[in-house]
Amino acid sequence: MNLGPPKHPYSLARSSFDWSSVAYRYPPAAQLLSPPKPGLWQRKLPGIQHRFKPESPKDRQLREARRKAVRNLTLKCWNSYRKYAWKRDALLPISGDGRDQFSGWAATLVDSLDTLWIMGLRDEFDEAVAAVAEIDFGSSTSPQVNIFETTIRYLGGLLAAYDLSGREVLLQKAVELGDLIYGGFNTPNRMPVDNIDFEVAKNGSGLVVEDTVVSASPGSLTLELAHLSQVTGDPKYYDAIAPVTELFWRWQKRTALPGMFPMWVSMAREDVTTGSSFTLGGCADSLYEYFPKMHALLAGAEPKYAQLTRGFMEAAKRHPFFRPMVPSNDDILVSGNVNVDEELEPHLDPELEHLTCFIGGTFALAGRLLGSKEDVEVGARLARGCVYAYRSFPTGMMPERLNMVPCQDTEHCIWDEQVWDREKVKRPEYKPHLPKGFTTAKDPRYILRPEAIESVFYLWRITGHPEWQDAAWDMFQAVANGTATELAAAAVKDVTVVKPKLPQEDYMESFWIAETLKYFYLVFSPPSLISLDQYVLNTEAHPFLRPDMRR
């Protein structure tokens, strides 16, 4: 989508500190590793998207009406952010105030750039870019900067908006921020810290790597830093993350659940094997999401990512995935947690987090990239599991965390109310009003999360089956109605009960516009808009143009 030059020039305000000027105590090796490029001998990656046929006028009219509804809600939320929380990290959607939850660098503004561009909101985009050009990455509202959030939201947002619009000022700000993040690798073993001490990072004396961090933190820096090297030609960013990938790749088969990694790892000790708790949900999610996406971004030129992808997928099918027993006998899958005992026996905890709902889309994407129709279908069953959860609750929204009853016989899984009765009484969190099949809604909130619609988007684009557009519209109507405030959209405290006015929380994070609404919009857009054959979307739904697709 090329909407031409900006209506007014952008004036770049350099940050108050030049992060590229730091003399590091622990510099990289003299010979830097560049992002690999596919050789002439290498086969091209297979196509990802379904080959869509021309739609009928009736279907197009319906789709466009739905797309317009998503765009209108996005514009309502954006205008309220602009009016009440401009240049703050997030809008408080009930009280009409703003808050800084990260570093005070206008997270919602940066995170939403590509959404504005994709939706054709040109005036809003130009105004936002002018504001981004003034962000000072040399100062922060917090003495420590979280490297994970800074990378996925801020750097990811800048790079995607640059790829889409070509606005040079966005790349300049991305380089400023990339150099800050690069400082997070100034450690004795060149492994990244979880939180960058701002003042220590500035003097270059060296940072202390935390003993334990969630595995998603170091594992989710690869896509953005690799892409920054791709668009700038400077290999240092890719060189920084390559040893992190090497560490996970080298030890993948040596964990207590071979193929998967424990929820907590140690970059200080370079230990990604010690631990007995495993999940694809919070604390680990985007670690796994980035394995196939890096395979796509590098056009298959680094085989480690395909191997990491296959390894975790096989382990996931054997352990955390389970078929839940439901009254409709639907053939669905959900992903739980696994705890490994001292005898190395895995034990399933059948808890589903909303965060885990990304895995259906990731499985389907990986199945396409690696030529596995079986894994595309596994992804579809996982996505249907989360759609089932949405449709089961009376508000049409899925709780943040819940439990279901695993089928003992996955091939012949027939509803047995007596089994459900026995299981639910074992759960102190059980409430009598929960739908049949659910034994808890441990966290009954819906906090505007995108993971379920993310998987629906991927399955729509990969299979072309209309069930996914129908599911997306059901979800959108439920979410739009249940979260609506006068100003924008707010988290719902309990989606398991219906009341004339659902109790809400004065909470709306940047991912609501950056991810949730963007995915809804793309489901109802022509498939050529952000084609999965051209773009790789990071964990914050920021589309990076694949280098092999650049003209």
- Binding-site residues for Ca(2+): 539
Query: Residue 493: which residues within 8 A CB-CB, separation 6 or more?
Result: 444, 445, 502, 503, 504, 505
Q: For residues 285 and 121, give the distance between their C-alpha atoms in angstroms, rounded to a whole number.
A: 31
- The three-point CA angle 505-541-440 to 5° equals 45
Whether 159 and 119 have beta carbons less than 8 Å apart is answered as: no
Q: Which two tokens stand for residue 327?
A: 């009254």
For the question of residue 246 being annotated catalytic, the response is no
CA 108: distance to chain centroid? 15
Q: Which residues partner with 504 through β-bridges?
A: 492
Q: Which of 89, 127, 234, 285 is catalytic?
A: 285
Pairing of strands 535-537, 504-505: unpaired
Sequence-distant contacts of 421-425: CB under 8 A, at least 24 apart: none
Q: How far apart are CA 203 and CA 222, in angstroms?
A: 25
Other Cβ atoms closer than 10 A to 528: 11
Q: How many CA atoms lie within 13 A of 530 on its CB side?
A: 27
Tokens representing 55 are 């739609």
Residue 163 designated active-site: no
Token pair, residue 75, equals 């514009």
Give CA–CA dist 533/439, Å, rounded.
40
For the annotated binding site, the residues are 539
Contacts of 182 (CB under 8 A, 6+ apart): 19, 225, 236, 237, 240
454 flagged as catalytic: no
Which is the catalytic residue, given 239, 451, 509, 540? 451
Q: What are phi and psi of 434, to 5 degrees?
A: -65, 145
Distance of CA 457 to the CA centre of its chain: 13
What crossing angle do the helices spanning 156-165 and 122-132 adopt, rounded to 10°? 130
Q: Which of 124, 149, 224, 234 is catalytic?
A: 149
Residue type, 441: A
Three-state SS string over 317-355 comes to HHCCEECECCCCCCCCCEECEEEECCCCCEEEECEEEHH
Q: Give the whole-angstrom CA distance, residue 294 versus residue 303.
A: 10
- Give the residue from 257, 260, 268, 287 showing the smallest Cα distance to 212: 268
Helical H runs in 319-466? 359-369, 373-392, 417-424, 451-463
Q: Distance (Å, rounded) from C-alpha 29 to C-alpha 23?
A: 14
d(CA 296, CA 48): 10
Of 127, 353, 400, 515, catalytic: 400
Token pair of 207 as six digits? 């940072």
Nearest CA to 337 among 345, 346, 327, 328?
Answer: 346
The residues, any chain, with a CB within 8 Å of residue 27's CB and separated by 6 or more, are 186
Q: Which residues are identified as catalytic?
A: 149, 285, 400, 451
